[in-house]
């Protein structure tokens, strides 16, 4: 499967600013990002909007490979929501997640899946090094979950 246009637009809203790419590198929680949340930028780096689009396409393809690799039948809305989650938390985190396990094991585990989905709302506070709930991630997970359920 491939991410729908609606799924791409959702990612742009989450990863950019007002749906537009960030053209100068910024510090993300574990390194510099640029464009639509592309990790691996260098401090002070700048790119064009066209380069941001190319990076987005490559990053989405990587997330799609991860979701397609589960080899489960998904509706388009479920696929798009999972790609957004993988894009945000990374393939490594997703591979070991309860979300992945529940999607692969049972279509009837919706309540457990919802709980697992909303576990991914924490960020590490740089000063105290403790995990804290992020309002932005909570809102993102809610939109992804609505999409997963087919409630755009």
Query: To 5 degrees, how large is the angle CA 9–CA 82–CA 31?
Result: 75
DSSP annotation of 108 reads S
Chain centre to alpha carbon of residue 40: 16
Task: Tokens 């309540």: give the residue.
Answer: 111
Is residue 15 part of the annotated active site? The answer reads yes
Q: Which uninterrupted H or E stretch holds 21? A: none
Of 137, 107, 112, which Cα lies nearest the Cα of 122?
Answer: 137
Among the options 6, 9, 15, 53, which is catalytic? 15
Q: Which uninterrupted H or E stretch holds 80? A: helix 76-89
**How do 122-124 and 38-41 pair as beta strands?**
unpaired
Q: What three-state secondary structure class fits 28?
A: strand
Q: What residues act catalytically?
A: 15
């Amino acid at each position: 499967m491939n991410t729908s246009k609606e799924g791409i637009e959702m990612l742009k809203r989450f990863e950019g600013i007002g749906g537009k790419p960030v053209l100068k590198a910024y510090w993300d929680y574990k390194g510099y990002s640029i464009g639509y949340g592309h990790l691996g930028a260098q401090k002070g780096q700048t790119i064009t909007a066209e380069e941001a689009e190319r990076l987005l396409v490559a990053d989405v393809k990587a997330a799609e490979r991860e979701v397609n690799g589960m080899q489960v039948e998904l509706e388009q809305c479920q696929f798009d929501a999972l790609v957004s989650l993988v894009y945000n938390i990374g393939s490594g985190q997703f591979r070991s997640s309860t979300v992945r396990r529940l999607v692969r094991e049972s279509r009837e585990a919706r309540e457990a899946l919802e709980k697992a989905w909303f576990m991914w709302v924490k960020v590490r506070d740089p000063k105290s090094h403790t995990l804290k709930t992020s309002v932005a991630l909570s809102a993102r997970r809610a939109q992804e979950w609505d999409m997963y359920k087919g409630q755009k």
